[in-house]
Amino acid sequence: MFDHNETLAEARARNIRDALFEDVGVCDWTAALVKPGQRVKARLLVREEAVLCGREWFEGCLRALDAQARIDWSYAEGDLMAADTPVCAIEADARALLTAERPGLNFLQTLSAVATLTRRHMDAIEGASPNPRGCSVLDTRKTLPGLRLAQKYAVRIGGGANQRLALYDGILIKENHIASAGSVSAALRNAQALVAEQATPKGYQIGIQIEVETLDQLREALGAGATSILLDNFDTDLMRQAVAINQELTGGQALLEASGSVMLEQLRGIAATGVDRISIGKLTKDVRAVDFSLRVLERIA
């Protein structure tokens, strides 16, 4: 434990193993009602318009129980699916399919929900930003326990970007860190010194971002050399002032990120202020599952 940073492939394998273990335990008694070796054809439908995400998690659940299972997808990962259309056709061992159905669908409904919500947020800001760098929508670390890398992958599939993947993925100085250090500039100096003394792999940089709550803190952060700043709960007028201050003091070089209970209907106005990024916790913490339906069509003799 704590000996390396988990990769997406490792996280996916762990997700699948954990999902099957928590659902199956020692036996799926209901699937045992079907005779061993019986194969079936099935079809998966989506009941609402949504972005498809999580194919490898779904496939992994089924193939963990039936390595010979065949899945023919009608949509690619990231495609926008039309309501009431086939998502894939399946041929598999009946017991394996019945056992893997719910764990597999849990991944599809959750990850597709994250990707779909992210796509809606990206569509909402299209063409709104005057920033030459554009404006992007980011997630946060407010993820479902155990599904961090999976949900952040889903955000990327939906067209968004990732904030820090985890605590290992850079420094984010928040209000409690600032209070503990004594000031914005003191917290930044501590972070800069820590990064300077760390031996990191070639080409890898430990990013430093600091959260500010006022324009005075913003000026202090820029004066102390901050290159990435989180604007916590700024209204749009304050965001516009922050963009102007950044332009005045750094030529607009520092990245400015809006954060704090951002609603979908506010997005376009926020992007129009010229900030670089908007981070939104609800992309991964307020998940409303996409509606999928799997039906066995026929037995294969």
Please identify every residue annotated as catalytic. Answer: 102, 142, 174, 211, 232
First to last CA, the chain: 48
CA of 194: how far to CAs of 161, 188, 208, 211, 212, in Å?
26, 10, 10, 18, 20
Would you state the structure tokens that stand for residue 117, as one six-digit string? 């919500």
Q: Are 95 and 28 in contact (CB under 8 A)?
A: yes
Q: Are 229 and 253 in contact (CB under 8 A)?
A: no
Task: Spell out a b/e string for 171-182, using b for 16 or more CB atoms within 10 Å of the CB, else e.
Answer: bbbeeebbeebe
**Long-range own/partner contacts, residues 220-227 (CB < 8 A, 24 or more apart):** 220/183, 220/184, 220/185, 221/184, 221/185, 221/188, 222/246, 222/249, 222/250, 222/254, 223/185, 223/249, 224/184, 224/185, 224/188, 224/189, 225/188, 225/192, 226/188, 226/254, 227/253, 227/254, 227/255
Q: Which residues make Cβ contacts (< 8 Å) with residue 213, sequence separation at least 6?
A: 175, 232, 233
CA of 265: how far to CAs of 112, 123, 156, 160, 256, in Å?
21, 12, 21, 17, 20
